[in-house]
């Protein structure tokens, strides 16, 4: 073996390299100098260090590296190391699968700064070094609505917070799909329910969006099982309704998927401030009770237990049976004499039609009004049913088949009905106007950005046609007035309702339960966290003196969609039988 003697130059190089490595390792030791988290976050919406490698050191406040989590953890600067500047956040999300550290431990991390869908985070993490236990940073006290100039709360991104006031549940649409509840300081009302369409309504909508907080579940999975809220698990007898409130909200504030969210570190307390209520009692002087309900697509297959899945509604016979049981409970518990419905399968009047099957399910005393003129070519229709032991038809039923209803739309149905033994009857018209969905919208039917959504022009023309039809449609001489009850797909201050008001028709629920600047006490629908009324009972001037009361029974719009008949196999009850609340009117004829 030949001996090797390193040259002085080689020895010097190796010594320098070793010193560099030793110095580099020393620089990444716990408590050695690091980039302050506030400097990474900066005072703006985006980090000025995006794309830069940095070393940070802080305390893990919430771990999301579990199965189904966000694949990382939240890191916050210790309280005695903050920059004391209120405009900068002291926390980051660390996107990594490395498993060192846990909540309440100080860690040192090196990675690359990245803006991920407006969330500032560290990614491409090289190492996570556990520096041992450390006191958690104190949560910052916040409250909604956000103070003026503090919306959105960018300065608190990823930090521990505690909500000091109770928050109201305004939306549960994503509860089953993503484990989310949307919260606000108070119930939010559809702007055009209380304001005319236009800039003021649009500004209110934007303001409402800013002052929201999503209660998340620190998971990124679809259809979490069990559904996390309320605890221990969502069920028909353990629900959370919009209008309920939450207290004890504490966790990490972050921004994901276009919304500010609270990832909780403790379970909040749920308060049932909007409890379920029985149907409104019938007025002692009422001789006729009329109920309207949008059935949310009542399709019965071929009417013989087969033909599922249908184009709409139930996908299986079992789902259809649950849907039927819930709808029958919703329709019969208020003890109506007349039932008007929308979103019923438009498959004629035959023995196996959805209309006759619904009448049979209601009971032997119920009959369906048959208008032999065509109900149109739409997949769904409106309909009228009545109790033969209390009510009788007066004259013939008819459909409005002219104007905008000649070739498109659900044709309104009209029939005069009279309580047995009474000399007076009421003409009932059941419309279902075009929805606000934008599929196929062209020209003036596109969203005009005034708060009315798509197809407002078509709904306006339909409303004018209905008003004209009432003035020309023949009714029996004994008719005391007209009641238009149905789904108008328009909120109370939108153009169609203005047309009806100008023609002498009053919204009865709004008459007996008026809206204020704070909102409306009784509504029928909820959309994207806002409540309002799409469903109405409109009385003509001549009928108004005979109206004893009107209500919206809050059985559906306030309940989570996760409790619907498709997802939930609970026994028959009226709760979440549809996505609309029924409207109920008592008359003295």
**Which CATH number do you get for residue 43?**
2.40.50.200
Maximum alpha-carbon separation in the chain: 126
Q: Does any domain span residue 99?
A: yes
Q: Which two tokens stand for residue 92?
A: 């980051």
Q: Which two tokens stand for residue 480?
A: 């005391």
Element containing residue 57 per DSSP (H, E): strand 53-64
| pLDDT score for 17 | 38
Verify that 224 and 117 share a domain, yes or no.
no
Q: Based on the structure, what is the number of domains in the chain? A: 3
E strands, 65-152, where? 72-76, 91-95, 105-116, 119-133, 140-142
Which whole-number Å values give the CA distances from 273 to 181, 276, 522, 523, in the listed order?
16, 10, 15, 17
Verify that 104 and 234 share a domain, yes or no.
no
Domain boundary pick from 133, 161, 193: 133
Element containing residue 397 per DSSP (H, E): strand 391-399
Q: What stretches in the chain show pLDDT beneath 50?
A: 1-23
| pLDDT score for 4 | 39
For residue 322, the SS3 value is helix
Verify that 262 and 321 share a domain, yes or no.
no
Q: Does any domain span residue 477?
A: yes
Verify that 386 and 532 share a domain, yes or no.
yes
Domain boundary pick from 118, 133, 148: 133
Contacts of 551 (CB under 8 A, 6+ apart): 280, 509, 512, 513, 522, 583, 584
Contacts of 556 (CB under 8 A, 6+ apart): 330, 575, 576, 577, 578, 579, 580, 581, 582
| Four-residue CA torsion sign, 497, 501, 506, 510 | positive
Q: Does any domain span residue 20?
A: no
Burial of 498 (0-12, 13-18, 19+ CB in 10 A): middle
Which range of residues forms the domain containing residue 155? 140-271
Dihedral in degrees, nearest 10, Cα atoms 341, 342, 344, 348: 80
Q: Are strands 105-116 and 119-133 parallel, antiparallel or unpaired?
A: antiparallel
Cα–Cα dist 150/217, whole Å: 25
Verify that 417 and 309 share a domain, yes or no.
yes
| pLDDT score for 225 | 86
Verify that 178 and 116 share a domain, yes or no.
no
Verify that 258 and 295 share a domain, yes or no.
no
Q: Does any domain span residue 11?
A: no
Neighbours of 261 (CB within 10 A): 21
Domain boundary pick from 133, 167, 202: 133
| pLDDT score for 450 | 94
Contact criterion met (CB below 8 Å) for 382 and 344: yes
Cα–Cα dist 73/466, whole Å: 59
CATH number at residue 316: 3.60.10.10
Q: Does any domain span residue 575?
A: yes
Q: Does any domain span residue 10?
A: no
Contact criterion met (CB below 8 Å) for 247 and 269: yes
Verify that 325 and 372 share a domain, yes or no.
yes
Q: Does any domain span residue 16?
A: no
Neighbours of 2 (CB within 10 A): 3
Verify that 182 and 230 share a domain, yes or no.
yes
Cα–Cα dist 60/386, whole Å: 64
Verify that 202 and 264 share a domain, yes or no.
yes
Q: Which two tokens stand for residue 336?
A: 């109506």
Element containing residue 59 per DSSP (H, E): strand 53-64
Question: Which neighbouring-strand residues pair with 171?
Answer: 182
| pLDDT score for 152 | 65
Structure pTM?
A: 0.92
Contacts of 125 (CB under 8 A, 6+ apart): 94, 95, 96, 98, 109, 110, 111
| pLDDT score for 150 | 57
Verify that 543 and 576 share a domain, yes or no.
yes
Burial of 302 (0-12, 13-18, 19+ CB in 10 A): exposed
Q: How many CA atoms lie within 13 A of 473 on its CB side?
A: 26
Verify that 208 and 125 share a domain, yes or no.
no
The answer to whether the peptide bond before residue 309 is cis (omega within 30 degrees of 0) is: yes
Q: Does any domain span residue 4?
A: no
Cα–Cα dist 88/48, whole Å: 12
Cα–Cα dist 376/382, whole Å: 10
């Amino acid at each position: 073996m030949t001996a090797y003697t390193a040259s002085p130059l080689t020895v010097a190089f190796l010594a320098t390299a070793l010193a560099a490595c030793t110095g580099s390792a020393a620089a990444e030791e716990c408590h050695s100098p690091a980039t302050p988290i506030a400097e990474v976050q900066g005072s703006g919406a985006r980090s000025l260090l995006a794309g830069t490698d940095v070393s940070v050191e802080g305390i893990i406040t919430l771990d999301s590296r579990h199965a189904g989590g966000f694949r990382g953890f939240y890191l916050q600067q210790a309280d005695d190391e903050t920059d004391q500047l209120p405009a900068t956040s002291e926390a980051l999300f660390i996107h990594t699968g490395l498993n060192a550290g846990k909540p309440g431990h100080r860690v040192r991390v090196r990675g690359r700064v990245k803006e991920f869908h407006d969330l500032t985070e560290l990614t491409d993490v090289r190492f996570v070094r556990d520096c041992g236990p450390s006191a958690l940073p104190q949560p910052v006290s916040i409250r909604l609505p956000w103070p003026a100039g503090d919306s959105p709360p960018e300065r608190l991104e990823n930090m521990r917070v505690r909500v000091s006031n109770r928050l109201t549940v305004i939306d549960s649409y994503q509860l089953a799909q993503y484990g989310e509840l949307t919260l606000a300081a108070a119930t939010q009302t559809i702007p055009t329910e209380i304001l005319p369409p236009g800039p003021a309504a649009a500004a209110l909508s934007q303001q409402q969006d800013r002052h929201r907080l999503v209660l998340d579940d620190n998971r990124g999975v679809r259809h979490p099982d069990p559904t996390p809220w309320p605890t221990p698990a969502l069920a028909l007898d353990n629900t959370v309704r919009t209008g309920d409130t939450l207290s004890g909200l504490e966790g990490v504030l972050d921004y994901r998927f276009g919304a500010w969210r609270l990832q909780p570190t403790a379970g909040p307390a749920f308060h049932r401030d909007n409890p379920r209520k029985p149907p409104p009692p019938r007025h002692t002087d009422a001789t006729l009770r009329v109920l309207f309900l949008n059935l949310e697509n009542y399709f019965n297959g071929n009417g013989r237990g087969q033909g599922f899945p249908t184009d709409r509604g139930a996908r299986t016979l079992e789902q259809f049976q649950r849907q039927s049981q819930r709808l029958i409970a919703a329709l019969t518990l208020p003890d109506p004499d007349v039932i008007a419905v929308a979103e019923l399968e438009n498959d004629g009047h035959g023995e196996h039609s959805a209309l006759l099957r619904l009448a049979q399910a209601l009971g032997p005393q119920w009959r369906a009004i048959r208008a032999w003129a065509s109900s149109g070519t739409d997949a769904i229709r409106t309909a009228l049913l009545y109790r033969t032991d209390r009510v009788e038809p007066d004259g013939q039923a008819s459909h409005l088949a002219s104007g905008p209803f000649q070739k498109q739309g659900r044709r309104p149905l009209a029939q005069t009905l009279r309580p047995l033994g009474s000399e007076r009857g009421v003409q009932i018209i059941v419309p279902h106007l075009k929805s606000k969905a934008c599929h196929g919208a062209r020209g003036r039917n596109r969203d005009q950005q005034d708060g009315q959504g798509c197809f407002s022009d078509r709904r306006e023309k339909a409303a004018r046609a209905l008003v004209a039809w009432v003035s020309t449609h023949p009714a029996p001489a004994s008719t005391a007035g007209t009641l238009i009850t149905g789904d108008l797909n328009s909120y109370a201050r939108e153009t169609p309702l203005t047309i009806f008001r100008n023609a002498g028709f009053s919204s009865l629920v709004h008459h007996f339960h008026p809206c204020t600047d704070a909102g409306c006490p009784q509504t029928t629908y909820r959309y994207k966290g806002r409540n309002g009324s799409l469903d109405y009972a409109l009385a003509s001037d001549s009928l108004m003196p005979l109206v004893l009361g009107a209500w919206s029974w809050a059985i559906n719009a306030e309940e989570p969609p996760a409790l619907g008949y498709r997802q939930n196999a609970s026994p028959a009850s009226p709760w979440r039988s549809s996505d609309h609340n029924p409207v109920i009117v008592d008359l003295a004829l």
